Amino acid sequence: MTEMTRNTSVMSRNVRGGAASGRKDTRWMVSTALMAAIVILLANTPLGMIQLPVIKATTVHIPVILGAIVLGPLSGAILGCVFGFCSMISNTMAPTLLSFAFSPFLAADLAGVFKAVWISVGCRIMIGVVAGWLWILLKKMKVNSWIALPVTGFIGSMTNTVLVMGSIYLLLARQYAEVKEVAVSAVFGLVMGTVTASGIPEAIAAAVLVAAIGKALLAFVNRQRR
């Protein structure tokens, strides 16, 4: 009788644990879906994709970074993928001089298709992966959140800029030179100019916004867990 009672108690705990895990998984999926909706909404407003003369500056990476912080690297990767597809669609529907690097539909050949998919989607997935794991590392190091949040925002944003512009330089330097009507040898300087003029201000803005919004989100999540 005692053994049966013990087994029943273990089964009860397992059922409760499974139910709690199921509720956690459901909350995670719903939260990721809500963040994805914000990414899509932002990507389709002027605030999300700011048109510059050659390239589209973005703030869509900010909810990707926030999602990676609050929900983890996997969620960040999913949100980055959503961001990437939004970028691909935007560059296909409203192309600029550099849209061939982001849209496989504007690529000159099959190799260009894979390069465009990597630049538009693959690089954006890495935003969430890097931001998510960096946040986990900083928290394990017990770094204060007021420091960890802006650092994660800055590095996450620079991940986007460095990977995208670096990939353009490594994979599409000749095409970039043709579009800009310069020698291939001048492409590195132009890429670094974009990183400096666009990437660094984006990263600073991300650091500020991630710190402010992230602190509120984390406080809300902690209250929900309690």
Tens digits of per-residue pLDDT, 29-39?
999 999 999 99
pLDDT of the residue at 12: 47
Counted domains in the chain: 1
Flag whether 9 is in a domain. no
> Residue 93 is part of which domain span?
15-225
pLDDT of the residue at 53: 53
pLDDT of the residue at 57: 60
27: domain CATH number?
1.10.1760.20
pLDDT digits (tens, 9 = 90+) for 204-223: 989 999 999 999 998 887 77
Q: Which residues contact 138 (CB under 8 A, 6 or more apart)?
A: 147, 148, 151, 152
Flag whether 86 is in a domain. yes
* Length of the chain counted residue by residue: 226
User: What span, in angstroms and rounded, lies between the C-alpha atoms of 226 and 218?
Assistant: 12
- N-to-C CA span, the chain: 36
Flag whether 135 is in a domain. yes
pLDDT of the residue at 50: 61
Flag whether 8 is in a domain. no
The list of the chain residues with pLDDT below 50 reads 1, 4-5, 7-8, 10-12, 14-20
pLDDT of the residue at 105: 94
User: What span, in angstroms and rounded, lies between the C-alpha atoms of 24 and 212?
Assistant: 26
Q: Are 156 and 131 in contact (CB under 8 A)?
A: yes
Flag whether 7 is in a domain. no
Flag whether 142 is in a domain. yes
pLDDT of the residue at 197: 85
Flag whether 3 is in a domain. no
Segment holding 204, helix H or strand E = helix 200-225
User: Can you state the angle between helices 123-140 and 145-180, rounded to 10 degrees?
Assistant: 160
pLDDT of the residue at 43: 86
Flag whether 81 is in a domain. yes
pLDDT of the residue at 2: 52
Nearest to 79 by CA among 120, 32, 149, 25: 32
